[in-house]
Amino acid sequence: MSVLKDIWPCWSAHGWEMASEFSVQAGDIPRATAISIFARTDGCSFTEVGAWKRHIRALSRQELYEWWVEANEWRDDETGGGWEAHPDAAPDDWEAPKYDESMPTWEFCKRDHPEAEAVWIVGLRRDGGPR
């Protein structure tokens, strides 16, 4: 199953707020195609665009839950604790918010990670690729 079908990844050297819809594309398409799609969509010249092969993986439900707990400063009134008092495992009825743009859904990983998927990171050549 492709990571790109489950999440909507985007990337920019200047932060996700500046990222284009087509800044992360499937790694099995030709580099020139990835560049062309980005250039056409963003209205820039083909020669201004670069594409860098990287690997990403989708975050697990547990990882999303842990991010959500920290971001929302979980309060457990029964124990009187702060976010540290949250259940360690995601409760069965917990679902990740569908439209929380600040919530990460993926991360870069090494190519030998079991869930790694090759993608093109596409952006302006002058900004360079992700390091």
DSSP string, 31-50: HHHHHHHHHHHHT--GGGEE
Over residues 13-17, the mean pLDDT reads: 81
What pLDDT is stored for residue 74 in this prediction? Answer: 62
* Co-location of 69 and 97 in the same domain: yes
* Co-location of 83 and 123 in the same domain: no
* Co-location of 54 and 5 in the same domain: yes
Beta strand extents in the chain (DSSP E only): 24-26, 49-58, 106-108, 117-124
* Co-location of 95 and 125 in the same domain: no
What pLDDT is stored for residue 66 in this prediction? Answer: 86
* Co-location of 67 and 80 in the same domain: yes
* Largest CA-CA distance found in the chain, in angstroms, rounded: 60
* Co-location of 37 and 81 in the same domain: no
* Co-location of 76 and 97 in the same domain: yes
The residue range of the domain holding 3 is 1-59+105-131
* Co-location of 95 and 32 in the same domain: no
* Co-location of 4 and 50 in the same domain: yes
pLDDT by residue (tens digit) across 42-69? 899 999 999 999 999 999 999 998 888 8
pLDDT by residue (tens digit) across 86-102? 677 888 888 888 777 78
* Co-location of 1 and 52 in the same domain: yes
| pLDDT, greater one: 42 or 79 | 42
Residue 7 predicted with pLDDT over 80: no
